[in-house]
Amino acid sequence: MRLPLPLREGAGGRGRWEGEGSCHRLTVRVSGRGENTLFTGAMIETLRADQAGIARSAEWLRAGKLVAFGTETVYGLGADATNERAVAGIFAAKGRPRFNPLICHYPDASAAFADVVANDQARLLATALWPGPLTLVLPRRPDCRVALLTGAGLDTLAVRVPSHAVALALLRAVGRPVAAPSANRSGHVSPTTAAHVRAELNGRIDAILDSGPCPVGVESTVLDLSGDTPRLLRPGGATAETIEALIGPVLRGPPPGALRSPGLLSSHYAPSLPVRLAAQSVGADEALLAFGPPLPGAGLVFNLSPSADPAEAASRLFAGLRWLDAEAARQGLRAIAVMAVPDAGLGLAINDRLRRAAAPR
């Protein structure tokens, strides 16, 4: 349904917003000069934190849209964590320069532990501190439903159960894990009100579920339990002293090598086969990771996006690398050739990941 929204008439002419759903364009009629569309973007829908607003937010998340919502820590930018294209939209909306792993939010510990392997320490901490501002990094289960892009292609996943009543109601209504980094532009201050989110992401996301101000106001603590010794990767709403009182001493700070936490650099997943970037030709003994019309002659092809769409390419990157690596090795191919991806927008993140995959090891 088309909904024209009139604007005030001025000396230069008259304008209106029009469009469908949350997507609108500004059209201006200038006297004697016809109409010109000046801007295309998304007008964020602000939803009340009542039953109808929560239901609407859940519907939009299940449909692959981006919805910001409040937690006890900060506002998160939510997307269906099982939908690679939706998760790619988070990176685009934030202008996030790398595919850092994202935190998956769940309504309870049972739902979270269905996607990761929980040890005794994880179960103890979950019993004592969930719901609450604590994120646990644990190994992915083989049947984990979360998209590889959500965890940046790593063999671990960051999971938490927030304590905010509206967030919990939303997560129950969605019925799927929700990836949700802070709802701000990359590198900016994390938002603690719906107004902060609108100022940061207006025109970039679909909706805000206005859950009121966040009571904690700092991000969750991130604790890595995937190794032999617990390691505090990021301090936050759950104190180190509280954690150590429950499970004993923990190491502090990120380890060398691959990092498991959102907001930290990571080497990510690297294929076993050599990776050759910016390929302009490809041999029959090579697999090809294509972008747009594929180069001829490859022994095996995975196309990130036949239409050369960076968002589609981002959503398929980790799955494509894993599939090519396994299938190329099975067929006895010697390497993976990668076609060039424009180094702009999500292409920056794609190329960052590909450079890491191609680095000597």
pLDDT of amino acid 270: 66
CA distance 208 to 212: 11
Residue 271 has pLDDT above 90, yes or no: no
Q: How confident is the model at residue 219 (pLDDT cuts 50, 70, 90)?
A: confident
Question: Which of 177-191, 242-256, 282-296 is the most confident on average?
Answer: 282-296
CA distance 252 to 254: 7
Two tokens at 235? 């301090």
Dihedral pair phi/psi, residue 173, rounded to 5°: -70, -35
Q: How confident is the model at residue 186 (pLDDT cuts 50, 70, 90)?
A: confident
- How far, in whole angstroms, is CA 265 from its chain's centroid? 15
CB-count burial class (<10 Å; 0-12, 13-18, 19+) for 162: buried
Cβ 214 vs Cβ 75: under 8 Å: yes
Cβ 68 vs Cβ 201: under 8 Å: yes
- Mean pLDDT over each residue of the chain, to the nearest integer: 84
Of the listed ranges 9-18, 81-90, 128-137, 320-329, the least confidently predicted one is 9-18
CA distance 242 to 234: 14
- What phi-psi label fits residue 138: left (phi over 0), alpha (psi between -120 and 50 degrees) or beta? beta
pLDDT of amino acid 313: 87
Two tokens at 297? 């002659």
Mean pLDDT in residue range 212-230: 90
154 three-state secondary structure: coil
Domains with residue ranges and CATH for the chain: 5-41 (no CATH), 45-252 (3.90.870.10), 275-358 (3.40.50)
Residue 158 has pLDDT above 70, yes or no: yes
At a CB cut-off of 8 Å and minimum separation 6, what does 181 contact?
Answer: 76, 77, 90, 94, 96, 102, 103, 262
Does an H or E element contain 243, and which?
helix 240-247
Q: Between residues 351 and 131, which one has the greater pLDDT?
A: 131
Q: Between residues 236 and 26, which one has the greater pLDDT?
A: 236
Percent of the chain whose predicted confidence (pLDDT) is above 90: 60
Instruction: Tell me which amino acid residue 57 is.
Output: S
Q: Could you tell me which residues are beta bridge partners of residue 252?
A: 232
Cβ 140 vs Cβ 115: under 8 Å: yes
Q: Which pTM value belongs to this model?
A: 0.75
Residue 310 has pLDDT above 60, yes or no: yes
